Amino acid sequence: MQSRRDLTRHLKIKWGSCNIEKKRIWLNLELAKKPINCLEYIIVHEMVHLLERHHNDKFLFYMEAYLPNWKQLRAELNKLPVSHAEWGY
Ligand SMILES: [Zn+2]
């Protein structure tokens, strides 16, 4: 399902994406210019997608486990134009 919100989100910069089948994570090299903790957030986020592809309770559980301050990091990154996408399924 494609909501209006998803549509606008995809127009923004993608910081990373994850191809679950190929177990491949793609990161935007622009992240190198961002604070290192933002980079960590994206990497952990994409790696959690290898365990759980959807942003559901299980996904949040893993985020809490691996990066307890992920909400703070996400807020920091959201001050910048941000997006990420999943594909390959
Ligand atoms: Zn995600």
Phi, psi (deg, nearest 5) at residue 83: -160, 160
What's the domain count of the chain? 1
- 7: CA distance to ligand 1 center in Å? 15
How far does residue 83's CA lie from ligand 1's centre (Å)? Answer: 9
Q: Is there a contact between 8 and 37 (Cβ–Cβ < 8 Å)?
A: no
What's the CA-to-centroid distance between 3 and ligand 1, angstroms?
16
CATH code, domain with 37? 3.30.2010.10
Q: What is residue 79's predicted lDDT score, i.e. its pLDDT?
A: 76
**CB neighbour list of residue 50: distance below 8 Å, 6 or more residues apart:** 18, 20, 23, 25
Tens digits of per-residue pLDDT, 41-84? 989 999 999 999 899 999 999 999 999 999 998 888 777 655 56
Question: What is the H or E stretch that residue 69 is in?
Answer: none
Res. 9: pLDDT tops 60: no
Helix axis angle, 36-51 relative to 57-66, nearest 10°? 130
pTM of the complete model beyond 0.85: no
Structural domain span for residue 40:
4-87
